[in-house]
């Protein structure tokens, strides 16, 4: 079976603090996989790197056989949904919550 995700020697640091330190794993295509860990363990950092929204300090990441990092002029752009706040979060109502279901 082919690998959907392959990570080897992945590290990511922020201002001298390591969020990920030489992480390595593989996820087979078609498998159901979970990611668990305590607060600050690097789960979000890992997912952002896998999605191409953040760059690793070192290591190799392949998603479906390709590097997920944007190339060239696209490096500064991020694909996918943007996070934003809405009045519905401050006063949730049934009609307002329908937009988030």
Domain containing 24 — which CATH number? 3.40.50.300
- Sequence-ordered alpha helix ranges (H) in the chain: 43-50, 87-90, 94-97
Domain that includes residue 43, residue range: 3-71
Q: For residue 99, tell me if it sits in a domain.
A: no
CA distance 69 to 72: 10
| pTM exceeding the 0.85 threshold for the entire prediction | no
Q: For residue 52, tell me if it sits in a domain.
A: yes
CA distance 12 to 20: 5
Q: Is the pLDDT of residue 59 over 70?
A: yes
Q: For residue 18, tell me if it sits in a domain.
A: yes
Residues whose CB falls within 8 Å of the CB of residue 6, separated by 6 or more in sequence, listed in order: 26, 27, 60, 61, 62
Q: Is the pLDDT of residue 60 over 90?
A: yes
Q: For residue 12, tell me if it sits in a domain.
A: yes
Are the beta carbons of 22 and 11 closer than 8 angstroms?
A: yes
pLDDT at 16: 86
Q: For residue 57, tell me if it sits in a domain.
A: yes
Confidence of residue 72 (pLDDT cuts 50, 70, 90): very low
- Tally of structural domains, the chain: 1
- Rounded to the nearest 5°, which phi and psi values hold at 34? -115, 160
Q: For residue 78, tell me if it sits in a domain.
A: no
Q: For residue 95, tell me if it sits in a domain.
A: no
Q: For residue 15, tell me if it sits in a domain.
A: yes
């Amino acid at each position: 079976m082919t690998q959907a995700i392959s990570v080897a020697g992945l590290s990511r640091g922020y201002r001298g603090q390591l969020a990920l330190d030489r992480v390595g794993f593989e996820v087979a295509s078609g498998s159901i996989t979970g990611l668990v860990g305590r607060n600050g363990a690097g789960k979000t950092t890992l997912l952002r790197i896998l999605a191409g929204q953040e760059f690793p300090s070192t290591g190799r990441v392949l998603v479906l056989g390709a590097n997920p990092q944007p190339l060239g002029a696209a490096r500064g752009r991020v694909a996918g949904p943007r996070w934003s706040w809405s009045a519905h979060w401050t006063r949730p109502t049934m009609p307002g919550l329908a937009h988030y279901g």
